[in-house]
Amino acid sequence: MADASAGGFPDDYPTIDPTSFDVVVCGTGLPESILAAACAAAGKTVLHVDPNPFYGSLYSSVPLPSLPSFLSPGSSAPCPPPSTETSSPASHSAVHLDHRCLYSEVETSGTIPEPSNRFTVDLVGPRVLYCADEAVDLLLRSGGNNHVEFKSVEGGSLLYWDGALYPVPDSKGAIFMDSTLKPGMKTLLFSFFKLVESHIAAEGEGEASGKISEEDLDLPFVEFLKKQRLPPKISAVMLYAIAMADYDQDAADSCEKLLTTRDGIKSIALYLSSIKRFANAEGAFIYPMYGHGELPQAFCRFAAVKGALYVLRMPVTALLLDQEKKRYIGTRLASGQDILCQQLILDPSFKIPSLEIPSDVSDSNSPRKVARGICITSSSIKQGKSSVLVVFPPKSLQEQQAAAVRVLQLSSNVAVCPPGMFMAYLSTPCTDAFLGKQCINKAIEVLFSAQGSDDSEGHLETTSENIENAKPTLIWNCVYVQEITQGTSGTVLSCPMPDENLDYRNILESTKKLFADTYPDEEFLPRNSAPKYADDDSDSAE
């Protein structure tokens, strides 16, 4: 876990030997750490440096008192003292490397409870892992599961609809137990899940019978759900709480990403297979103990076992440019030492000099953002449950809400806060920071009551239990906006930012593409590359 209180720079930096590597990786975020592991597994010599005294970079889990330093402009990485030393040949020049501000519009309110350092904050929240997705498989393949323990999101998912929170009927068992569903609706849902399962089975066996037609697979998923006679609320469950669509699927003309039936069924298949994967995981999702910052560390441990060299508290101040070939061939460290390499990998907080930035990913053409929120509360959103996921479909909070808002509540069960306290993360993608923050704040108002409020405006009803529960009291919260960028290839790889998604699928795909573009003949983290541990158990979520 990160400990930013150990910051600062040493008076004397260590000398790195050797001074030439196949790959130099700057920053220990999740994509950089996975790439370092993949390169080391492919037999490349790897130097992995980070200016911080801990692992994780933009994917860190940090003590709450350290959060302002991460969100303040220009503080995504420390600025080292200038160095006058140099060892680069005359044919090489040093191009200064700057950092960019990735966070903006930061607003906080309330008072952080003491002891404040007992609260650990994910910079990527809200975020979970599907039990059956490739990120979990990569942890198993790299042996990372021996270093990270997971807990189930045991409260399941809730959908906000018409002013109430409804349990998500995400399996046949959940449908059967849901007292809010009429018998006719239960029959429709049973039939729909049976259709999906038949299609998945037929695809796996290569059979035509039982498969959804190609014509339907190419339809917008929202239209396919209408063909199945599912009413709006249940369609919203399928679209936003199970298939995890972000944008308003009913606004086909303006929807930024319209989900096809093919992609919708694929997401539902992942969800259903996740529910069944681990005996000790109650639902589809798991969360790492101590926060998501544990994941980069797991891949860094793997890379170190494979021979990668790790140096923390070591900022990079410049890129080395081969003047004749017009390509970057190394880095200058804060110590003044120059390190040569064939491939550079940088975390997205670096401003890569214009030689390497493609025109289609420049700052002026990257309007995508995600509005995020962090809350500390005194009780659970769902009575008796320590963790729960809440989904606000588009337009459920206000007419201008173009994208879903997702909320993940956590507790001391995963060691991120003291007993009796709860942490909730919120996010929604946006192009307009004001509207994005407005949606986050509206969701906070719906779920929580302010300290000192008599909560006279109402309660949230958990309809399956017919119990009217008082809103949890909001003790402290922070709302901010984060820039989103994709990874870029070249002699300098720029890794992707934490995105707006609930899981790591897109980030992982982008990371695999960067590796394939760089080493097309190498296998990405081969299955036989994991170190063997006596307690290896791939059938447990913990």
Asked whether residue 364 carries a pLDDT value surpassing 70, the answer given is: no
Residue 441, classified by CB atoms within 10 Å of its CB into exposed (0-12), middle (13-18) or buried (19+), is: middle
CA–CA distances in Å: residue 409 to residues 237, 330, 387, 390, 429: 19, 43, 5, 8, 19
Residue found under tokens 């239209």: 223
Distance CA 181, CA 121 (A): 37
Q: Does the N-terminal peptide bond of residue 526 adopt cis geometry, omega within 30 degrees of 0?
A: no
Residue found under tokens 């990998």: 345
- Kindly give the interhelix angle for 505-518 and 30-41, rounded to the nearest 10 degrees: 40
Distance CA 339, CA 446 (A): 53
Residue 74 Rama label (left phi>0; alpha psi -120 to 50; beta): left
| Tokens linked to 346 | 């940088």
- Tell me the pLDDT band of 180, cut-offs 50, 70 and 90: confident
State the pairing for strand pair 129-130/164-167: unpaired
The more confidently predicted of residues 100 and 459 is 100
Per DSSP, what are the bridge partners of residue 473? 449
Distance CA 423, CA 476 (A): 10
Indicate the CATH number for domain 16-98+292-361+486-522.
3.50.50.60
Query: Poorest-confidence range of 20-29, 184-193, 351-360, 369-378?
Result: 351-360
- Tens digit of pLDDT for each residue in 469-496? 579 999 999 999 999 988 887 779 999 9
For 80, the 3-state DSSP assignment is coil
Mean pLDDT of the chain: 86
Eight-class DSSP state of 240: I
Q: Could you please report the per-residue DSSP string of 441-452? A: HHHHHHH-EETT
Taking residues 49-66, what's their average pLDDT?
94
Taking residues 50-67, what's their average pLDDT?
94
Instruction: Give the pLDDT score at 464.
Output: 47
Asked whether residue 143 carries a pLDDT value surpassing 60, the answer given is: yes
The more confidently predicted of residues 61 and 171 is 61
Instruction: Give the pLDDT score at 466.
Output: 38
Query: Poorest-confidence range of 309-323, 360-374, 500-514?
Result: 360-374
Please answer whether residues 325 and 192 qualify as being in contact, where contact means their C-beta atoms are separated by less than 8 angstroms. no
CA–CA distances in Å: residue 354 to residues 11, 90, 319: 32, 22, 12
Instruction: Give the pLDDT score at 535.
Output: 46
Please answer whether residues 221 and 239 qualify as being in contact, where contact means their C-beta atoms are separated by less than 8 angstroms. yes
CA–CA distances in Å: residue 315 to residues 72, 151, 331: 19, 34, 10
Instruction: Give the pLDDT score at 236.
Output: 95
Query: Poorest-confidence range of 130-134, 184-188, 304-308, 352-356?
Result: 352-356
Taking residues 448-465, what's their average pLDDT?
61
Distance CA 404, CA 244 (A): 9
Residue found under tokens 């790889």: 493
Taking residues 342-349, what's their average pLDDT?
94
- Tens digit of pLDDT for each residue in 240-280? 999 999 999 998 777 788 999 999 999 999 999 999 788 88
Instruction: Give the pLDDT score at 355.
Output: 54
- How would you label 288-303 residue by residue, b for 16+ Cβ within 10 Å and e otherwise? bebbbbbbbbbbbbbb
CATH assignment of 150-288+367-482, given 1.10.405.10, 3.90.380.10, 1.10.3720.10, 3.40.1360.10? 1.10.405.10
Distance CA 239, CA 245 (A): 6
- Tens digit of pLDDT for each residue in 502-535? 999 999 999 999 999 999 999 999 887 666 654 4
- Tens digit of pLDDT for each residue in 86-96? 445 556 789 99
| Tokens linked to 337 | 């030492």
Instruction: Give the pLDDT score at 489.
Output: 77
The more confidently predicted of residues 137 and 3 is 137
Instruction: Give the pLDDT score at 90.
Output: 58
- Tell me the pLDDT band of 461, cut-offs 50, 70 and 90: low
The radius of gyration of the chain from alpha carbons, rounded to an integer in Å, stands at: 24
Taking residues 42-48, what's their average pLDDT?
97
Instruction: Give the pLDDT score at 363.
Output: 45
- How would you label 173-197 residue by residue, b for 16+ Cβ within 10 Å and e otherwise? ebbeebeebeeebeebbeebbeebe
Taking residues 55-81, what's their average pLDDT?
78
- Tell me the pLDDT band of 281, cut-offs 50, 70 and 90: confident
Distance CA 498, CA 31 (A): 9
Distance CA 97, CA 360 (A): 21
Please answer whether residues 153 and 388 qualify as being in contact, where contact means their C-beta atoms are separated by less than 8 angstroms. yes
- Tell me the pLDDT band of 11, cut-offs 50, 70 and 90: low
Percent residues over pLDDT 90 in the chain: 65
Q: What are phi and psi of 113, to 5 degrees?
A: -65, 150
Range list of H helices, 422-481: 433-447
Distance CA 73, CA 13 (A): 26
Percent residues over pLDDT 70 in the chain: 86
- Tell me the pLDDT band of 357, cut-offs 50, 70 and 90: very low
**pTM value?**
0.89
Domain residue spans of the chain: 16-98+292-361+486-522, 150-288+367-482
Instruction: Give the pLDDT score at 356.
Output: 43
Residue found under tokens 């998945």: 200
Please answer whether residues 51 and 80 qualify as being in contact, where contact means their C-beta atoms are separated by less than 8 angstroms. yes
Please answer whether residues 55 and 293 qualify as being in contact, where contact means their C-beta atoms are separated by less than 8 angstroms. yes
Q: Which of 26, 23, 30 has the alpha carbon at shortest distance from 299? A: 30
